[in-house]
Amino acid sequence: MRPITTQTLFSLQFSGDPQFSPDGQSIVYVKTTINQEENKYQSQICKYDRKTGRDIPFTQGLAQDKLPKFSQDGSYLAFVSTRSGTPQLFVMLTDGGEPKQLTFFKKGVKSYSWMPNNQLVVAARKDDANEKSDVRVVNTLRYRGNGYGFYGDEPIHLWLVQVDGSGPQQITDGNFDETDPTVSPDGKKIAFVSWREENQVEVTPSLYTVDLDTGLIDLTYQGKGSVSHPVYSPNGKWIAFFGHEHGEDSGYNTELWVVSTGSGEARSLSRSLDRPVGNQVGTDARYETAEVSPIWDMDSQKIYFTATHEGDVYVYSVTLDEKIQKETPGDTQVVTSFSYHSGVIAYAKETPASPAELYLQQNKEIQQITYHNTPLFKSLTVSVPERTKFQARDGLEINGWLLKPPGFSSDQRYPLVLEIHGGPHSSYGNTFLHEFQVLANSGYIVLYTNPRGSHGYGEAFVRGSIGDWGGKDYEDLIDAVDAVARLPYVDRNNLFVTGGSYGGYMTNWMVAHTHIFKAAVTQRSICNLHSMIGTSDIGFWFNVKELDGADIWEDEEFILSRSPIRYANRVQTPVKIIHSEEDFRCPMEQAEQWFTALKRLGVETELVRFPNENHDLSRNGQPEHRVERLDHIVGWFNQYLGNKE
């Protein structure tokens, strides 16, 4: 058996976004691999035949093909591909042939949906005819986004496209973005999400419909928080969507809602579940391309969706009278995407022992249908995490996991690495984590937990960090480390810490408030919450919400009191800083401030800057950069690893 190393990344394969054909006899899905020679990802559409069990590639090439969707009559398959440069819409016959490019938007396609008559509606940004200079004139707060870059002046609108390539015909106009189009069953209306106000400080989008005959736009649901992924019921009486009514705030459970297309009455169907819809469990071994939306049963009485529950993600169903049922049995799983057809669920499932593979479930019987990672993992020493629980000092129960080195012996003592997730409203869970496996195979025990602020434990728990960054969340993490460090097989003289984004913030906060760690690696981190408000692509609203309304003028002292930079003169722990130069979420200036402060104060510090990478380096950055990042982490810890007791 071979150990899992940083180089193992190049051999991983990622499957997701299963889609049933209209007759239910075949399933298409997206398989992503890494082309090491080209240093990039390749995604192709694959097709699984339920009768024969045959699984074959449906598209070819070195591009990224994603978001496959069958036409309603099953004769065509559409998908978005980068094969012409930017993400454009392509279509091909379902019995094979060459894909045909349907769109040529300069900045690509955002989303799309089929019409009943084999037309398609596309959300895309109109080409800017006035783009004559490389000088940017900015007039809105939301002028750039991490991983996207600068948006430009033209908003996203809806367009009709024909399968023969004619068009596109513009449907909507104006100064506002329109996204997430969904088509009514009779093909006469398109519902979409839009924020149609000039105020950009806080965006709470609403749900609109446009009549294709008259062009009139009606407000269907007035949003009070988040609204996304609308889908018409088959009978046209309802639109299901994901959202909440708490403003622009990620510290609440997003729920499954329905709104009546007749009365406009809207209500949440999943509130009693007290769990966020969708997958909130993070990993660095995923390349899921799906846009996971609610899925209606054909009788328009039941809706299928995913939700995160204490480190797992399941498929659930809910009826219009709010009866919720867990559909995927068992535990220790993370469902990243799924499709439903006549009582059968096809889903992509991750486990602690493997990235996502595809499964079919019918009458509670489960069949695995892809085995892309099986040959590789049969040759690797994979560590299986152990669930554990801790009691915080105020009595609150905190969930976590311990990942031990292969060949673990309770008679030995091992160094410990604390990993801290981002968000703060993300979560760890029962998924394969390549970085953690690399550390375990390097001889470290890895501790990862879901302190208060994490999703999946109820709304009160996820709100537990609001206005208290560096408070109870810090205590939860320290209490977990203290509990594990008391175990006889843990070397408490060799404790290490790392984390990214909010996890980087907490890494900085920890080394400024305790000296128990031998070394730290802070990644895409935050050190100054005050300056981040004006430099991050989301800081002007996100920081305010996370600090419970703290204002940069009236609450400057409080904001700085919760910023690690205030306590830099307390740091003694050697710190490696890893940051991406195109990170718009936690900007490079955060790393530069932290590095300058620590270096000036004489702390052993090293700054590693990754060019041409953004906030998502650890998840979907250039593969060679991802491997180099892991080498930096393991190398830094090994450098400060002392003799075991």
Write down the catalytic residue from 228, 442, 501, 580. 501
Beta-strand (E) ranges in 501-615? 519-523, 575-580, 605-610
Please report which helix (H) or strand (E) contains residue 597, including its range. helix 588-600
Q: What is the pTM of this model?
A: 0.97
Is residue 601 pLDDT above 70, yes or no? yes
The answer to whether position 580 is within a domain reads yes
Arithmetic mean of pLDDT, 72-82: 97
| 419/429 Cα distance (integer angstroms) | 12
The answer to whether position 63 is within a domain reads no
Q: Look up residue 601 and give its two tokens.
A: 């104060």
Is residue 645 pLDDT above 60, yes or no? no
Structure confidence at residue 96 as a pLDDT band (50, 70, 90): confident
pLDDT computed for residue 146 by the predictor: 96
Write down the catalytic residue from 228, 615, 618, 632. 615
CA 396-398-400 angle, 5° bins? 170
Q: Which of the pair, 130 or 46, is modelled with greater confidence?
A: 46
Residues 6+ apart with CB under 8 A from 164: none
The answer to whether position 586 is within a domain reads yes
| 527/542 Cα distance (integer angstroms) | 15
71 is catalytic: no
Is residue 643 pLDDT above 80, yes or no? no
Is residue 167 pLDDT above 90, yes or no? no
pLDDT computed for residue 642 by the predictor: 84
Q: Which of the pair, 440 or 137, is modelled with greater confidence?
A: 440
The answer to whether position 198 is within a domain reads no
The answer to whether position 556 is within a domain reads yes
Tell me how long the chain is: 645
Q: Which amino acid is located at 392 in the chain? A: A
| 31/47 Cα distance (integer angstroms) | 10
| 522/355 Cα distance (integer angstroms) | 25
The answer to whether position 321 is within a domain reads no
Structure confidence at residue 179 as a pLDDT band (50, 70, 90): very high
Is residue 373 pLDDT above 60, yes or no? yes
Total Cβ atoms within 10 A of residue 85 = 11
Q: Look up residue 617 and give its two tokens.
A: 């380096």
C-beta separation of 467 from 602 below 8 A: no
| 452/98 Cα distance (integer angstroms) | 51
C-beta separation of 385 from 466 below 8 A: no
| 461/638 Cα distance (integer angstroms) | 35
Q: Look up residue 548 and give its two tokens.
A: 């419970």
CATH of the domain at 450: 3.40.50.1820
Is residue 364 pLDDT above 90, yes or no? no
Tell me if residue 462 falls in helix, strand or coil: helix
Q: How many domains does the chain have?
A: 1
| 59/44 Cα distance (integer angstroms) | 6
pLDDT computed for residue 131 by the predictor: 64
Is residue 79 pLDDT above 70, yes or no? yes
Query: What domain range is 618 assigned to?
Result: 383-640
Is residue 15 pLDDT above 90, yes or no? yes
- pLDDT tens sequence across 320-336: 999 999 999 988 899 99
615 is catalytic: yes
Across the chain, mean pLDDT equals: 96
The answer to whether position 296 is within a domain reads no
Total Cβ atoms within 10 A of residue 182 = 22
List the 40-49 sheet strands across, edge first: 14-20, 26-35, 40-49, 55-57
Is residue 164 pLDDT above 50, yes or no? yes
Structure confidence at residue 284 as a pLDDT band (50, 70, 90): very high
Is residue 535 pLDDT above 90, yes or no? yes
The answer to whether position 121 is within a domain reads no
Arithmetic mean of pLDDT, 521-543: 97
